[in-house]
Chain A
Amino acid sequence: MADWHRLTIRSNDPDPRGTSIATAAAHLGIELPRDVDVADVIHVCGVLDDSQRVRLAAALADPLLQHASWDAPTSAGIEVTLLAGVTDTTADAVLHAARQLDVQLTGAAKARRIEFGADVDRELADEVVRRVVANPVIERWGHGLVDPPMLHDAPGHADAELIPIRGSDDAALVSLNVERSLYLDIEELRVIRDEYERLGRDITDVEIETLAQTWSEHCAHKTFRAIIDTTGGPDGPAEVTPLMAQLRACTESIDAPFVRSAFVGNAGVIEFTPGTTIALKAETHNHPSAVEPFGGANTGVGGVIRDVLGIAHRPIAITDILCFGPADLPLAELPDGALHPRRIRDGVIDGVADYGNKIGLPTVAGAVLYDPAYTTNPLVFAGCIGTAPSRPIHDGPFAGDRVIVLGGATGRDGIRGATFSSATMDATTGAVAGASVQIGDPIVEKLLIDALIGAEDLYTAITDCGAGGLSSAIGEMAEGIGADVDLDLVPRKYPGLDPWEVWLSEAQERMVIAVAPEQLAAIRARCDRVGVLLADVGVFTGDGQLRVRHQGHVVVDIDTKFLHDGRPQRRLPAELPTPNRHDHTGRSVADPAATILALLAHPNIASKADTIHRYDHEILGATVVRPLVGAAADGPADGVVLADPGATEGIAIGIGVNPWYGLHDPEAMAFAVIDEAIRNVVAVGADPDRVALLDNFSWGDPRRPSTLGELVAAVQGCCAAARMYAAPFVSGKDSLNNEYVGADGQRHAVPPTLVITAVAHVPDADQCVTPDLAEAGNVLILIGRTAAEFAGSHLDLVQGAPLDAGVVPAIDPDAPATYRQLHAAMRAGLVVACHDLSEGGLAVALAEMCISGRLGARIDVLPDDDLVTALFSESSGRLIVEVRPQRADAFMKIMGRSAAHLGTVTDDSSLSIPGVEPIPVDRLVEAFNGAGVR
């Protein structure tokens, strides 16, 4: 009879994973006597004779690299295997290989074996595995030989469970809310009760879960759609328009000619060249990344790629903005139930790299920020850009179209993600939310792209399966038209799923399309060619009802009008912040040279090369301006530019984010980060009149009036800035409730974090400009105004903030005109190098230009009489430009009063600033790249 066999595969050379584990442990203060040994274990189930064992082993292990054994190891070790039901792509590959080799297997599973050596006691080994190796959210482990995960296919409930909601009082509704983790408001529960009293029947578990997903903060953006009563404003109490309506109105008022689609569908769409369009979208995946960093970030990237695919564009690039707690946080200070920031960071970066690299998209732009406030609630923003030939946006589905599910099979992974992401986390979140975490399979999504790109005329509507799974994907598509779906037709990873689990599962790499019956064969042929699973699960009816069947029973029968419009509008109180805008305070710095080096070494400013090189930013061959540039390819670029080989026009991507401003003045923060994102794309050569924006808000609990007030202020800042620059928002996303309740019962909220992504048109990709200094003797010119604006500055982060922080950088009303002048100068070929001023101000920007070009600079004129203000203030709207001496007059003529002479590029390889001890460029490089790097 078939039974399980284990093949243990060891590397001939030392396995680098062993070193990584020892290093990761050492970072947490856990010293191991030596590197650990790591072996892979492949479990297979079947009847195997010796020749089959040999064939299988030969296929699974290369003798030049590995040695494999069918004998169970006798040495001490801890084996880590996946929990039953967690995606195991290795197992799938083993089964595929076995079929090729005519070896009949009924099951396969992978495991890792960690061997510490005899002199490491079990407790220490356990500690290391728990801290840096395994995660109970998706894995289990033990000493000795651990059996592979087995699925006990307990039969699922044939029928949906009926919940007696009629006649329930508030207390009963609240306990139902808690019992099923619905995270609904009491008003919403009452409306649901009343609806089912009107219908004269009880609600099924599938129906209430569907409503909880569709009405979740994540899917319904209840706060952004709420009526808000503000206090603390200049004119006293006021009612403000819902935030989403403000952003839409802002975009409509700008009325930019290049906008094709804004705030509808999965992503925004703008014109790129005549005949082609760009789709852009950015998402957050914060809570999943907190409990399972790799899987959370991995599927965050996969999700945002599907958003672009879900508006019929071919994905071409990925962005990621990551916020973590301090990497050097002492273990003793780590709150209960939280993963260490270093582990979260490493897992998140692995997750982004794994998905982007495997699916074959360049991960080009991003940022990595560190702040203690992100320790328990990291933020992971993932963005995606796509392009397509211009075509009308799909306007289906139409009655009679089939409901087609493409991609991965459905399992018990990622149940209730939408509601989970709308909840506050605490020490037990990892345990209870395990099922909310998915593991991605980028290859399946790659095949989905191959199947769907070029098939745009074969479907009438498309959307991705994200939060809420089929319930929200099909639920949204069916709005106003209705659908009749049979869950028995949805492909399963394994038996034993309850109907509501199939309906809600957030199993990854799935898309839903609406297909007219006569086109079905063509779509099926495309899917068969590349090996994408296609399931015809139902029909769009036209009667407006969302009807779901399971084993012959109707388990959902909801009027889509009620599903999408039945939710009572929230009304929330907000207390507007009253930031200081007037009393500017300066700073004093003992040793400016040392401060410049300290700023360059600050984790937020220092080189991100370690992360950037983990990402394939070269694939597709279109990356013209890379995240790292210059003589030694280690200088930070302002924005990145993508342009196909041979193409003239390009796409610039810039990012703006600064939560430290948000702590002082959320409205000014919004202005500042929009300015920075736009300045980043202008600095590389993009047209300031062809910029589109994405807004991503990660905030605390909006039910706290002061937190909501900060959100209101930030949105008002966004709208004012977008209007000033005539740069419309085309899409956005809010992630609220980014809070963690510690064991101490205290709430830890993230600082107001607004990420702005600017995507802009580059008229000539051969004219792109980068920050690296090019030639000694060239002239350095400063653009923009400088004032003592230090609140939230990085100077304060490195030397401590005074009680009276002063003001955060104010907006420069001249900036839009200045950027147009600069762009004209670039088009005229007058600009040799250009760099924006951001964290660390003028001093850091100059240092980065020297580092990038491995050249020195001599500054003659400072922009302020106060040295500290001149060097370290972060006033917005500023750039440094390098021009050839003989072109300086022409450049100044174009720029007018907005530009002033700053200094000269030198070949004496040091940065010389009046009143500051000259700093050798090597010292700058060392501070920025880390000691020892040249």
Chain B
Amino acid sequence: MSTVRAIVIAGPGTNRDCDVRKALEHAGADARIVLASELVARPALLDDAGLAVVAGGFSYADSLGAGRMLALDLVLGIGDALRGFVSAGRPLIGICNGFQVLTAAGLLPGALGHNAQGRFDCRWVVLEPVPDSVSVWTAGINDPIHCPIAHGEGRYVHPDPDGLSAAGQVALRYRSTNPNGSVADTAGVCDPTGVVLGLMPHPENHIVRRQHPRHSRGGGGDAHLGLRLFDNGVQHAEGL
């Protein structure tokens, strides 16, 4: 089986692209960072990839609403190519700003507003995988995923959270604390097919045990690595 080629899509102000690349490499993928402008100039770059990530950060400084400007670039520039990528069943994930981009681009349902407490917040959270979710990214993961959040606009909003849940599109929920006021503790949602996932927390920052804040007190552990999401994505891409 040949190594999965993954691309990490970055816009001006994306800043977790290198962390994501590292996570993908830990998951066995051949990952490269591609600027949105390069992608628009050469949509073929997308065709060559088996997996794509829209990484976190502050694209266009989050002016006019987090992710909206980069979403505009992608939709107007390579909207069709992206939709083709997804309809071909190739896994796509948007993390933090990438989640905001994918909702603004209409590839994921709902929207992300300012945190309920009105400020940027960075802390570790526990994510409960939703068993009946159709997401390929969380399939087979039963243990909670531990990883940090770092955002100011992560309050997930959806007009019909129950319908979303019933459709199996809620992939992850915040356990214990809901850090931003997201509806129904929703932390991660997917498209109806399950190949596109969006989440605010940063699984790419928990790829080795030592990154866990309580690793020296026996906290974390392999079962709770954020890396598991990337393992899933890469395995799914390998199976295509």
Among B61, B113, B120, B206, contact of A93 (Cβ-Cβ < 8 Å)? B61
Cα separation A442 to B14 with both chains bound (whole Å): 11
| Residue B168 is within 8 A (CB to CB) of chain A in the complex | no
- By a CB distance below 8 angstroms, the chain A residues around B120 are 353, 357, 614, 616
Cα separation A116 to B81 with both chains bound (whole Å): 48
Q: A60-B64, A766-B210 are in contact. Are A617 and B118 (CB under 8 A)?
A: no
Which chain B residue shows the least CB distance to A349? B119
Cα separation A624 to B220 with both chains bound (whole Å): 13
CB pair A64–B111 under 8 Å, yes or no, is: yes
Min CB distance, B104 to chain A, in Å? 7
Min CB distance, A548 to chain B, in Å? 32
CB pair A768–B64 under 8 Å, yes or no, is: no
| Residue B89 is within 8 A (CB to CB) of chain A in the complex | no
Q: What would 24 A/B residue contacts be, using CB atoms closer than 8 Å?
A: A16-B118, A59-B64, A59-B68, A59-B72, A60-B64, A62-B68, A64-B110, A93-B69, A101-B72, A357-B58, A357-B120, A358-B13, A360-B15, A360-B16, A360-B58, A443-B12, A613-B121, A614-B119, A616-B122, A618-B148, A645-B22, A765-B210, A766-B210, A774-B217
Within 8 A of B (CB), among A37-94: 42, 59-62, 64-66, 89-90, 92-94
CB pair B64–A93 under 8 Å, yes or no, is: yes
- By a CB distance below 8 angstroms, the chain B residues around A616 are 120, 122, 150
Cα separation A359 to B76 with both chains bound (whole Å): 26
| Residue B43 is within 8 A (CB to CB) of chain A in the complex | no
Min CB distance, B40 to chain A, in Å? 11
Cα separation A96 to B150 with both chains bound (whole Å): 26
| Residue A501 is within 8 A (CB to CB) of chain B in the complex | no
| Residue B213 is within 8 A (CB to CB) of chain A in the complex | yes
Min CB distance, B218 to chain A, in Å? 10
| Residue A626 is within 8 A (CB to CB) of chain B in the complex | yes
CB pair A16–B13 under 8 Å, yes or no, is: no
CB pair A529–B117 under 8 Å, yes or no, is: no
Min CB distance, B157 to chain A, in Å? 5
Cα separation A830 to B72 with both chains bound (whole Å): 57
19 further contact pairs, Cβ within 8 A, besides A65-B65, A616-B120: A16-B119, A60-B64, A62-B111, A64-B157, A97-B68, A97-B72, A100-B72, A358-B61, A441-B61, A442-B58, A443-B12, A530-B12, A613-B123, A619-B15, A621-B207, A621-B211, A630-B214, A633-B124, A768-B216
Q: A16-B115, A613-B123 are in contact. Are A530 and B35 (CB under 8 A)?
A: yes
- By a CB distance below 8 angstroms, the chain A residues around B110 are 64
By a beta-carbon cutoff of 8 Å, the part of chain A in contact with chain B is 11, 13, 15-17, 19-20, 42, 59-62, 64-66, 89-90, 92-94, 96-97, 100-101, 353, 357-360, 441-443, 446-447, 529-531, 613-621, 623-624, 626, 629-631, 633, 643, 645-646, 765-766, 768, 770, 772, 774
CB pair B213–A446 under 8 Å, yes or no, is: no
| Residue B32 is within 8 A (CB to CB) of chain A in the complex | no
Within 8 A of A (CB), among B203-229: 204-208, 210-211, 213-214, 216-217
Cα separation A443 to B59 with both chains bound (whole Å): 8
Q: A97-B72, A531-B12 are in contact. Are A619 and B205 (CB under 8 A)?
A: yes
Min CB distance, A356 to chain B, in Å? 10
CB pair B150–A629 under 8 Å, yes or no, is: no
- By a CB distance below 8 angstroms, the chain B residues around A442 are 58, 61
Q: A90-B64, A94-B64, A613-B121 are in contact. Are A772 and B217 (CB under 8 A)?
A: yes
Cα separation A15 to B73 with both chains bound (whole Å): 28
- By a CB distance below 8 angstroms, the chain B residues around A613 are 121-123
CB pair B122–A617 under 8 Å, yes or no, is: yes
Cα separation A158 to B162 with both chains bound (whole Å): 67
| Residue B202 is within 8 A (CB to CB) of chain A in the complex | yes
| Residue B114 is within 8 A (CB to CB) of chain A in the complex | yes
Q: A97-B72, A774-B217 are in contact. Are A358 and B122 (CB under 8 A)?
A: no
CB pair A62–B216 under 8 Å, yes or no, is: no
| Residue B37 is within 8 A (CB to CB) of chain A in the complex | yes
- By a CB distance below 8 angstroms, the chain B residues around A353 are 120
CB pair A614–B122 under 8 Å, yes or no, is: yes
CB pair B19–A621 under 8 Å, yes or no, is: yes
- By a CB distance below 8 angstroms, the chain B residues around A66 are 65
Q: A97-B69, A618-B122 are in contact. Are A359 and B61 (CB under 8 A)?
A: no
Cα separation A631 to B216 with both chains bound (whole Å): 10
Cα separation A13 to B180 with both chains bound (whole Å): 14
Contact pattern, B 85-118, Cβ under 8 Å of A = 1, otherwise 0? 0000000000000000000100000110111111
Contact pattern, B 15-53, Cβ under 8 Å of A = 1, otherwise 0? 110110010001000000001011000000000000000
CB pair B214–A65 under 8 Å, yes or no, is: no
| Residue B57 is within 8 A (CB to CB) of chain A in the complex | yes
- By a CB distance below 8 angstroms, the chain A residues around B159 are 64
Cα separation A353 to B121 with both chains bound (whole Å): 10
Min CB distance, B233 to chain A, in Å? 18
Which chain A residue shows the least CB distance to B121? A613
CB pair B210–A624 under 8 Å, yes or no, is: yes
- By a CB distance below 8 angstroms, the chain A residues around B210 are 624, 643, 645, 765-766
CB pair B63–A89 under 8 Å, yes or no, is: yes
Min CB distance, A544 to chain B, in Å? 40
- By a CB distance below 8 angstroms, the chain A residues around B63 are 89-90, 92-94
Cα separation A633 to B13 with both chains bound (whole Å): 29
CB pair B122–A446 under 8 Å, yes or no, is: no
The residue in B15, B116, B204 that gathers the most chain A C-beta atoms within 10 A of its C-beta is B15
Among B26, B115, B216, contact of A770 (Cβ-Cβ < 8 Å)? B216
CB pair A443–B13 under 8 Å, yes or no, is: yes
Which chain A residue shows the least CB distance to B115? A16
Which chain A residue shows the least CB distance to B208? A645
CB pair B61–A529 under 8 Å, yes or no, is: no
Within 8 A of A (CB), among B124-166: 124, 148, 150, 157-159
Min CB distance, A387 to chain B, in Å? 13
Min CB distance, A362 to chain B, in Å? 9
Cα separation A617 to B121 with both chains bound (whole Å): 10
CB pair B214–A631 under 8 Å, yes or no, is: yes
- By a CB distance below 8 angstroms, the chain B residues around A20 are 118
CB pair A619–B16 under 8 Å, yes or no, is: yes
CB pair A447–B12 under 8 Å, yes or no, is: yes
CB pair A65–B111 under 8 Å, yes or no, is: yes
The residue in A618, A629, A772 that gathers the most chain B C-beta atoms within 10 A of its C-beta is A618
Q: A531-B12, A626-B213 are in contact. Are A65 and B124 (CB under 8 A)?
A: no
CB pair B61–A89 under 8 Å, yes or no, is: yes
Cα separation A491 to B111 with both chains bound (whole Å): 38
- By a CB distance below 8 angstroms, the chain A residues around B114 are 11, 15-16
Min CB distance, B193 to chain A, in Å? 22
CB pair B57–A360 under 8 Å, yes or no, is: yes
- By a CB distance below 8 angstroms, the chain B residues around A446 are 12-13, 15
- By a CB distance below 8 angstroms, the chain A residues around B150 are 357, 616, 618-619
- By a CB distance below 8 angstroms, the chain B residues around A768 are 216
Min CB distance, A24 to chain B, in Å? 11
CB pair B35–A11 under 8 Å, yes or no, is: no
Which chain A residue shows the least CB distance to B71? A59
Which chain B residue shows the least CB distance to A441? B61
Min CB distance, B16 to chain A, in Å? 6
- By a CB distance below 8 angstroms, the chain B residues around A358 are 13, 15, 57-58, 61-62
Which chain A residue shows the least CB distance to B69? A93
- By a CB distance below 8 angstroms, the chain B residues around A93 are 60-61, 63-64, 69
Cα separation A97 to B16 with both chains bound (whole Å): 24
The residue in B62, B73, B118 that gathers the most chain A C-beta atoms within 10 A of its C-beta is B118
Which chain B residue shows the least CB distance to A644? B22
- By a CB distance below 8 angstroms, the chain B residues around A42 are 64
CB pair B122–A615 under 8 Å, yes or no, is: yes
Cα separation A623 to B206 with both chains bound (whole Å): 11
Which chain A residue shows the least CB distance to B117? A16
Closest 4 CB pairs of A and B: A360-B15, A16-B118, A93-B63, A64-B111
Cα separation A633 to B64 with both chains bound (whole Å): 34
The residue in B35, B76, B120, B208 that gathers the most chain A C-beta atoms within 10 A of its C-beta is B120
Cα separation A353 to B76 with both chains bound (whole Å): 32
- By a CB distance below 8 angstroms, the chain B residues around A774 are 217
CB pair B122–A62 under 8 Å, yes or no, is: no
